[in-house]
């Protein structure tokens, strides 16, 4: 089945630094990937839609200059949290749709970001 690999699974960084999270579709091409954020004991909120070869589309309230998204190829999207602050600590998850699998979204395993 469709597999989405997300890396790293856990990262701890200092305030003010930047962190890059990768999301790869391993056995299919994804022109669109999605980035979600999950706060502890809460649901997932869509942050942005990553579009291959063009700018990402951000949801209302999400700072595009803080959460940089790059979708340079059909199998890779990256989310960079710039100038991280403790309030950015969260669980970030990407997803992609393998159209050949019949309209099912495959999620990465998530990245636990802790900013200290």
Partner 1 sequence: GNSVTQMEGPVTLSEEAFLTINCTYTATGYPSLFWYVQYPGEGLQLLLKATKADDKGSNKGFEATYRKETTSFHLEKGSVQVSDSAVYFCALSGSAGGTSYGKLTFGQGTILTVHP
Would you count residue 82 as binding partner 1 (CB under 8 A)? no
Would you count residue 108 as binding partner 1 (CB under 8 A)? yes
Binds partner 1 by CB under 8 A, chosen from 35, 88, 95, 113: 95
Closest distance of CB 46 from partner 1, Å: 6
Binds partner 1 by CB under 8 A, chosen from 46, 63, 72, 100: 46
Would you count residue 105 as binding partner 1 (CB under 8 A)? yes
Q: Which of 32, 82 has the CB closer to partner 1?
A: 32
The 3-class SS string of the chain reads: CCCEEEECCEEEECCCCCEEEEEEECCCCCCEEEEEEECCCCCEEEEEEEECCCCCEECCCCCCCCEEEEEEECCEEEEEECCCCHHHCEEEEEEEEEHHHCCEEEECCCEEEEEC
Which residues are at the interface with partner 1 (CB under 8 A)? Answer: 6, 32, 34, 36, 42-46, 49, 93, 95, 97, 103-110
């Amino acid at each position: 089945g469709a597999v989405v690999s997300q890396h790293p699974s856990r990262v701890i960084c200092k305030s003010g630094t930047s962190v890059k999270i990768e999301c790869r579709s391993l056995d299919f091409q994804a022109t669109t990937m999605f980035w979600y954020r999950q706060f502890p004991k809460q649901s997932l909120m869509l942050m942005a839609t990553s579009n291959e070869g063009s700018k990402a589309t951000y949801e209302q309230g999400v700072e595009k200059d803080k959460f940089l998204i790059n979708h340079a190829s059909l199998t890779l999207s990256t989310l960079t949290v710039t100038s991280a602050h403790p309030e950015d600590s969260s669980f970030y998850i990407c997803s992609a749709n393998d159209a050949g699998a019949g309209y099912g979204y495959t999620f990465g395993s998530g990245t636990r970001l802790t900013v200290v």
